[in-house]
Amino acid sequence: MLDEIIAKITSEYGTLSNEIIEEWKSDILMLELEKGTQLVREGSYTNKLFYIYKGSAKAYHLKDGKAIADWFSFEHEFICAITGYFLGRPSEHYIELTEDSILLEFNRKHINILSNTYHDFERFTRNAITKIMLQLQKRVVYLQFSTAKERYDFLLQEYPKIELHISLGDIASYIGITQETLSRIRAQK
Amino acid sequence: MLDEIIAKITSEYGTLSNEIIEEWKSDILMLELEKGTQLVREGSYTNKLFYIYKGSAKAYHLKDGKAIADWFSFEHEFICAITGYFLGRPSEHYIELTEDSILLEFNRKHINILSNTYHDFERFTRNAITKIMLQLQKRVVYLQFSTAKERYDFLLQEYPKIELHISLGDIASYIGITQETLSRIRAQK
DNA sequence: AGTCGAATTTGATCTATATCAAAAGATTTC
DNA sequence: GAAATCTTTTGATATAGATCAAATTCGACT
């Protein structure tokens, strides 16, 4: 199964030779965990990157005691504690599974070694980061100046089935509105 | 002067051999342009990336006829029409100089060729994109759930001297508030 | 199936910030 | 250096969405 997942990943982010793939595989963990499992805790030093094969996860942080969702990850997407992973600082986020999931776990150190050793792997990494960057760019645009309804419509366009996987409260915080407001928007559809 | 600028860039994003630098230089344009010059127009196919050596620039788009600032770039920072440059689609942004400026212009094609040819250049590119990604991440966090004042304070922390370079209206739109609100926030300091 | 706790909905009220409008200050231009 | 234009400030009002509170629905567990 791992080979199959890796094939899917490389088809999206860039081909890798068998040699590289074998070396990469030597440090990949494959996990099957249940809904609610915390992959990363705020304040922890984390150097892990995850890839969701089945299921879904969320990254969130607390503001005034309330959870605010920062990032969702569904099947075939990556997720990490962004500031922790890229800056080597204590994580500002929690990461938690929102459904029973099968996922891969990678290590920053090993990823960096591979990137430094193999040009192809470096390109692969760049492509993955570029995708994250473009997703963030889109979010900034709609968070900057749009109504609650516009934000929600935009999110549904990006993730038409998000409601099957993520609770109303988490969705609301992700688009920067309260859950009451989101509930009312839904009601008048 | 070009060598000096390149030295500054590579010190930040990753060392490059003289060979690579020479090849890179063969396709760099150095421009001296005045405030208000449009570097990129919305709807145009653009494959240009800019680096501000002196001065500043903004990327913006129009919503309901009003300009909304998306990205500012000051001395020693890059700027491009993000969707145009990375996705090869017509630009969703205008880019305009906000002061008289000296800047470098790069070409996506040449950047890509260099990235494909030289592992070091690929790493260099990845570092630059990672920085952009992290900046966007920060913006998302404060756009998601914070008051007008919190946004403004955060921006000042990031760019303490922004008011010397960017107009109140542009700053307001960048943090997602109206200029009247920003003016009132300033008044009560 | 019935109980308990969590998630969602609905209602009433409040408030931060938008909107509209006009005045005051700056900056550019000829 | 006066006119014209652009930017910022100030004032009055409107409103989207927050907040607080309670009722309802949904799901998990025994």
Contact between B129 and A130 using a beta-carbon 8 Å cutoff? yes
Footprint of strand D on the protein (CB under 7 A): A 147-149, 176-178, 180-181; B 167-169, 179-180, 182-184, 186-187
CB B108 within 8 A of CB B85: yes
Please give the span between the terminal C-alpha atoms of chain B, in angstroms, as a whole number. 41
User: Which residues are CB-contacts of A22 (< 8 A; sequence separation ≥ 6)?
Assistant: none
Number of helices (H) and strands (E), helices first, in chain B? 8, 8
pLDDT of residue B46: 85
Whether residue B73 has pLDDT greater than 90: yes
Contact between A140 and B140 using a beta-carbon 8 Å cutoff? yes
pLDDT of residue A189: 65
CA dist B80 and A52 (Å) reads 32
Please give the span between the terminal C-alpha atoms of chain A, in angstroms, as a whole number. 41
Structure tokens at A71: 């990032």
Which residue type, as a one-letter code, is found at position A185? I
User: pLDDT tens across A117-152, in order?
Assistant: 999 999 999 999 999 999 999 999 889 889 999 999
**Cα–Cα distance list, B85 to B10, B90, B108, B183 (Å):** 21, 9, 7, 34
- CB contacts of B70 in chain A (<8 Å) are 140-141, 144
Nearest to A144 among B87, B134, B176 (CB): B176
Contact between B176 and A87 using a beta-carbon 8 Å cutoff? no
User: pLDDT tens across A74-99, in order?
Assistant: 999 999 999 889 999 999 899 999 98
3-state secondary structure of B100: coil
Contact between A137 and B68 using a beta-carbon 8 Å cutoff? no
Structure tokens at A139: 């979010």
CA angle A87, B128, B61 (to 5 degrees): 110
B147 CB less than 7 Å from any atom of strand C: yes
CA dist A152 and A85 (Å) reads 29
Interface test with A, best of B63, B126, B138, B150 (most A CBs within 10 A): B126
User: pLDDT tens across B27-44, in order?
Assistant: 999 999 988 899 998 888
**Phi and psi torsions of B37, nearest 5°:** -60, 135
Interface test with A, best of B115, B129, B132, B146 (most A CBs within 10 A): B129
Nearest partner of B54 among B35, B69, B38, judged by Cα? B35
Token pair 């963030």 is found at A136
Structure tokens at B136: 């966007």
CA dist B111 and B104 (Å) reads 13
Count the alpha carbons within 13 Å of B166 in the hemisphere toward its beta carbon: 26
User: pLDDT tens across B100-125, in order?
Assistant: 899 999 999 999 999 999 999 999 99
pLDDT of residue B167: 94
Report the distance from CA of residue A70 to the C1' of nucleotide D29 in Å, as an integer.
Answer: 31
Contact between B125 and A126 using a beta-carbon 8 Å cutoff? yes
Provide mean pLDDT across the span B74-83. 93
As a whole number, the mean pLDDT across chain A is 93
Give the other-Cβ count within 10 Å of B10's Cβ: 16
CA dist A129 and A126 (Å) reads 5
What domains can be seen in chain A, in order of their start residue?
2-118 (2.60.120.10)
pLDDT of residue B189: 65
CB B145 within 8 A of CB A143: no
Nearest partner of B12 among B113, B138, B130, judged by Cα? B130
User: pLDDT tens across B42-51, in order?
Assistant: 888 889 999 9
- Min Cα distance A3 → chain B (Å) is 26
What is the band of A53 on the pLDDT scale with cuts at 50, 70, 90? very high
Report the distance from CA of residue B171 to the C1' of nucleotide C16 in Å, as an integer.
Answer: 19
Task: Kindly write down the DSSP assignment for every residue of A53-101, as one continuous string.
Answer: EES-EEEEEEETTEEEEEEEE-TTEEEE-HHHHHH-SBPS-EEEESS-E
Report the distance from CA of residue B178 to the C1' of nucleotide C22 in Å, as an integer.
Answer: 17
**Cα–Cα distance list, B23 to A32, A88, B87, B125, B128 (Å):** 49, 34, 25, 15, 19
Provide mean pLDDT across the span B137-145. 90
Provide mean pLDDT across the span A14-25. 96
